[in-house]
Amino acid sequence: MSTAPCAYSIGRRLSLLLAIQTVIGLGVLLAFIHGATTMLFTAKHEEELRSYTAVLVDVVRDAGHSGGEAEIRNKLAWLAERRPGTFVQLRRADGSELYRDTAPTFAVDNPAVRSMAFDVPLNQGAAPLQGELMLDCSQDAKTAQRMALLLIVAVLAGAAMVGWGTFWRVRSSLRPLIDLAAQTNAIDARHLGQRLSLAEPVEELQPLIDQFNGLMQRVERTYAQLEGFNADVAHELRTPLANLIGHTEVALSRERTAGELEDTLHSNLEELHRMAAIVNDMLFLAQADRGVKARRGAAVSLAQLVRQVVEFHEAPMEERGLTVAIEGDTALSVDEPLVKRALSNLLGNAIRYADAGSTLSVRIAREAGDSVRLWVENAGPTIEPEHLPRLFDRFFRADVSRGEADKPHHGLGLSIVAAIARMHDGFPAAESSGGTTRVGFSLHAA
């Protein structure tokens, strides 16, 4: 069984990353500074050694010319007192010691001690004297060490400050997200109308807020439709159930003849058929909502399908003196039973509301691309503009505008038309003005 990944803190992660970057960046920079300082110290020591070596060479040469070895020893001893932190020794050409400073104040084997050898020519043709100068650089080495420690502390302190500052700044910057989370947590089924907002709009968050608010608007509308749908289903099923219960109770209230019981059973059967039709239509709409697509067959003539549906409605049309005109035709691969059902619902709807003795028009027209539009047009009461957007909602009835009081039906016909259109990758449409109503749907080629 897989486990969900652990949540992490954006603030802590950014703080850690920036602290690491700070350590790396400052570390490289300060390492360069320390290296450059060490090179400067080294260059300084080399210069001091070269300068003092040149002085020693001049002093020893002059002393040797004027007073011999004794004068050389006196001059070097005098220089040793004048220049602490140095150690000088001088040997003759045969390797014997001519002069050596008293014990130095520093350890000559210390890595911080630097040395330089030099030669002192005395007489022409004579072998030169060999000398060695040692310079105590321990103080500069300690300074470099203290500087390195200071730089390390500066790097760590800078990283800590950057990390803490980043964490504080991220927490402050994420405050709008915390507010949005609190607002989102307050939304429930009783407060679906609540929307997200910020006192100070944030440019990066505003698209997310707008999308979430749009989603909540759709959820609220769907929830309202669902509640209305449940109420409508209960209402639609309550009437036939009440009729069934009433008829059965009346039949059982006293003894009935076989003919009377048969009439009661026929009446109950009609109510049961009505309930079955509602349940079947609801099941069909539920399948369509789950994304079921139409099963398309070979391309057929849509006008031929219309004529077959018109034949099925001949009786109610003759009863009201209606005729049908079919305009246009095209061949398209569709699910024939579904398209016939949609056309039957549209035609039945038009027959129900058309003016007696008028002509119904069924138009078939090719549109841009592979789309085909089917319209059923009738002359009759105009649908109010505010009712048109809801015409394909389940159980919706524009009673006032269409005078349905004497024409009961369960209100799912146009919803099924819309579902069949979606199953063919199309959409429904309705127009009504000037006593003419056009209701139809589009179909897309497979």
What is the model's pLDDT at position 308? 92
Mean pLDDT for 96-104 is: 82
pTM of the predicted structure, to 2 decimals: 0.53
Last residue of one domain, picked from the residues 141, 169, 197? 169
What Å distances lie between residue 64 and 56, 72, 171, 243, 324, CA to CA? Answer: 12, 6, 80, 143, 140
What is the model's pLDDT at position 322? 92
55 closest CA partner among 74, 83, 81: 83
b/e burial code for range 86-107 (CB count within 10 A of at least 16 → b): bbbebeeeeeeebbebeebebe
Asked if pLDDT for residue 119 goes beyond 80, the answer is yes
* Cα 94 to Cα 98: distance, rounded to the nearest angstrom: 10
* Cα 417 to Cα 414: distance, rounded to the nearest angstrom: 5
Tell me the torsion sign for CA atoms 136, 142, 143, 147. Answer: positive
Do residues 280 and 426 both lie within one domain?
Answer: no
Do residues 308 and 281 both lie within one domain?
Answer: no
CA angle centred on 45, ends 40 and 48, rounded to 5°: 125
Q: Is residue 182 part of a domain?
A: no
The mean pLDDT value of the chain amounts to 82
Do residues 387 and 265 both lie within one domain?
Answer: no
What is the model's pLDDT at position 409? 57
What is the model's pLDDT at position 2? 53
Q: Is residue 200 part of a domain?
A: no
Mean pLDDT for 28-38 is: 85
What is the model's pLDDT at position 326? 92
Do residues 244 and 354 both lie within one domain?
Answer: no
Q: Is residue 236 part of a domain?
A: yes
Please tell me which residue, 359 or 71, carries the higher pLDDT value: 359
Assign 128 to helix, strand or coil.
Answer: coil
* Cα 273 to Cα 153: distance, rounded to the nearest angstrom: 88
Asked if pLDDT for residue 38 goes beyond 80, the answer is yes
**For residues 363 and 377, is the Cβ–Cβ distance under 8 A?**
yes
Do residues 271 and 131 both lie within one domain?
Answer: no
Query: CB burial class (10 A; 0-12, 13-18, 19+) of residue 248?
Result: middle
Query: CB burial class (10 A; 0-12, 13-18, 19+) of residue 347?
Result: buried
* Cα 40 to Cα 137: distance, rounded to the nearest angstrom: 13
Mean pLDDT for 20-45 is: 85
Asked if pLDDT for residue 325 goes beyond 90, the answer is yes
428 pLDDT tier (thresholds 50, 70, 90): very high
Give the orientation angle of helix 336-353 with respect to helix 413-423, to 10 degrees.
Answer: 150
Last residue of one domain, picked from the residues 265, 289, 313? 289
3 pLDDT tier (thresholds 50, 70, 90): low
16-30, 140-154, 340-354: which is most confident? 340-354
Residue bearing tokens 């049961």 = 272
400 pLDDT tier (thresholds 50, 70, 90): very low
Q: What is the dihedral angle through the alpha carbons of 116, 120, 127, 108, rounded to the nearest 10 degrees? A: -30
**For residues 322 and 360, is the Cβ–Cβ distance under 8 A?**
yes
* Cα 31 to Cα 151: distance, rounded to the nearest angstrom: 8
Do residues 267 and 348 both lie within one domain?
Answer: no
Q: Is residue 349 part of a domain?
A: yes
Asked if pLDDT for residue 25 goes beyond 90, the answer is no
**For residues 356 and 317, is the Cβ–Cβ distance under 8 A?**
no
What Å distances lie between residue 189 and 186, 227, 289, CA to CA? Answer: 10, 11, 22
| Paired tokens of 366 | 């090719």
CA angle centred on 111, ends 53 and 91, rounded to 5°: 40
Please tell me which residue, 411 or 53, carries the higher pLDDT value: 53
Last residue of one domain, picked from the residues 254, 289, 324? 289
Q: Is residue 184 part of a domain?
A: no
In Å, how far from its chain's centre is CA 221?
A: 25
Do residues 281 and 310 both lie within one domain?
Answer: no
Tell me: the pLDDT tens digits for 171-215?
A: 777 788 778 888 888 887 777 778 888 877 777 778 888 888 888
What is the model's pLDDT at position 160? 85
Domain limits for position 223: 206-289
Q: Is residue 294 part of a domain?
A: no
Tell me: the pLDDT tens digits for 229-276?
A: 677 677 777 778 888 888 888 888 888 888 888 888 888 888 888 888
Asked if pLDDT for residue 363 goes beyond 90, the answer is yes
Q: Which residues pair with 437 in a beta bridge?
A: 378, 432
Do residues 283 and 321 both lie within one domain?
Answer: no
Mean pLDDT for 361-371 is: 86
What is the model's pLDDT at position 437? 92
Do residues 243 and 380 both lie within one domain?
Answer: no
303 pLDDT tier (thresholds 50, 70, 90): very high
What is the number of structural domains in the chain?
3
Asked if pLDDT for residue 283 goes beyond 60, the answer is yes
What is the model's pLDDT at position 410? 63
Mean pLDDT for 287-312 is: 87
Instruction: CATH number of the domain at 341, please.
Output: 3.30.565.10
Q: Is residue 154 part of a domain?
A: yes
Lowest mean pLDDT of 139-143, 304-308, 391-395, name the range: 391-395
Q: Is residue 4 part of a domain?
A: no
Do residues 285 and 304 both lie within one domain?
Answer: no
What is the model's pLDDT at position 70? 84
Do residues 307 and 242 both lie within one domain?
Answer: no
Do residues 310 and 437 both lie within one domain?
Answer: yes
401 pLDDT tier (thresholds 50, 70, 90): very low
What is the model's pLDDT at position 407? 46
Instruction: CATH number of the domain at 84, please.
Output: 3.30.450
147 closest CA partner among 47, 21, 41: 41
What is the model's pLDDT at position 23? 81
